[in-house]
Structure 1
Amino acid sequence: MNVNLKKLAEMLGLSQTTVSRALNGFPEVNAETRQRVLRAVRETGYRPNRAAQRLATGRAGSIGLVMPIAQGIDSDIHFGEFLAGLGEESVRHDFHFVINPSAPEDEELTFKRLAASGNVDALFLAYVRENDPRIAMLKSLSIPFVVHGRTINQPTDYPFLDIDNTGAFYEATRLLIQLGHRRIALINGQSHLTFAIRRKKGMVRALDENGLVFDETLSHNSPMTDEYGYRAMERFLGNPEPPTAVLCSSTVMALGAVRAITRAGLTIGRDISLITHDDVLPMLKPENFMVPLTTTRSSLRAAGSRIASRLISRIGVTSDTVEQELWRTELIVRASTGPAPARR
Structure 2
Amino acid sequence: MKLKQLSEMLGLSQTTVSRALNGFPEVSAETRSRVMKAVRETGYRPNRAAQRLATGRAGSLGLVMPIAPGLDSDVHFGEFLAGLGEEAVKHDFHFVINPSAPEDEESTFRRLVASGNVDALYIAYVRRDDPRIALLNTLNMPFMVHGRAVDQGPHSYPFLDIDNTGAFYNAARLLIQLGHRRIGLINGPAHFAFAIRREKGMRKALAENGLPFDERLAHNGLMTDDFGHQAMEMLLEEPEPPTAVLCSSTVLALGAVRVLDRRGLKVGRDISLIAHDDELPMLKPENFSVPLTTTRSSLRAAGARIAERLINRVLQHGDPAEQELWRTELILRESTGPAPVR
Q: Indicate the TM-score class for this superposition, using the shorter chain for normalisation.
A: over 0.9
Tell me the distance in 2 between the aligned counterparts of 1:46 and 1:240.
67
Percent of aligned pairs with the same residue? 77
Tell me the distance in 1 between the aligned counterparts of 2:68 and 2:113.
22
In the alignment, is residue 162 of structure 1 matched against residue 155 of structure 2? no
> CA-to-partner distance for each residue in 1:248-270, whole Å, 9 max, x for gaps?
00000000000011111110000
- Correspondence 1:240-319 to 2 at 5 A: 240-316=239-315, 318-319=317-318
Structure 1 unaligned runs (5+)? Answer: none
In the TM superposition, what is the alpha-carbon distance from 1:27 to its structure 2 partner?
A: 1.6
Aligned residues of 1:24 and 1:317 also touching (Cα < 8 A): no
- Correspondence 1:21-32 to 2 at 5 A: 21-32=19-30
In the TM superposition, what is the alpha-carbon distance from 1:31 to its structure 2 partner?
A: 2.3
Tell me the distance in 2 between the aligned counterparts of 1:141 and 1:195.
25
Question: TM-score by structure 1 length?
Answer: 0.98
Residue among 144, 147, 158 paired with 1:146: 144
Q: 1:26 is matched by which residue type in structure 2?
A: F
The number of aligned residues is 341
Tell me the distance in 1 between the aligned counterparts of 2:318 and 2:148.
23
In the TM superposition, what is the alpha-carbon distance from 1:319 to its structure 2 partner?
A: 4.4
SS at match of 2:280: coil
In the TM superposition, what is the alpha-carbon distance from 1:12 to its structure 2 partner?
A: 1.5
In the TM superposition, what is the alpha-carbon distance from 1:147 to its structure 2 partner?
A: 0.1
In the TM superposition, what is the alpha-carbon distance from 1:318 to its structure 2 partner?
A: 4.0
Tell me the distance in 2 between the aligned counterparts of 1:251 and 1:240.
26
Q: State the Cα RMSD in Å.
A: 0.8
In the alignment, is residue 37 of structure 1 matched against residue 35 of structure 2? yes
> CA-to-partner distance for each residue in 1:179-209, whole Å, 9 max, x for gaps?
0000000000000000000000000010011
* Residue number in structure 2 paired with 1:172: 171
SS at match of 1:290: coil
* Residue number in structure 2 paired with 1:182: 181
Q: 1:38 is matched by which residue type in structure 2?
A: M
SS at match of 2:186: strand
Aligned residues of 2:25 and 2:317 also touching (Cα < 8 A): no
Tell me the distance in 2 between the aligned counterparts of 1:128 and 1:146.
11
Tell me the distance in 2 between the aligned counterparts of 1:163 and 1:25.
30
In the TM superposition, what is the alpha-carbon distance from 1:29 to its structure 2 partner?
A: 1.6
Dislocated runs of 4+, deviation >4 Å: none
In the TM superposition, what is the alpha-carbon distance from 1:56 to its structure 2 partner?
A: 0.4
Tell me the distance in 2 between the aligned counterparts of 1:317 and 1:308.
14
> CA-to-partner distance for each residue in 1:285-329, whole Å, 9 max, x for gaps?
000001000000000000000000000011126443110000000
Structure 2 unaligned runs (5+)? Answer: none
* Residue number in structure 1 paired with 2:190: 191
SS at match of 1:292: coil
Tell me the distance in 2 between the aligned counterparts of 1:93 and 1:316.
10
- Correspondence 1:1-344 to 2 at 5 A: 3-154=1-152, 155-316=154-315, 318-343=317-342
Aligned residues of 1:100 and 1:110 also touching (Cα < 8 A): yes
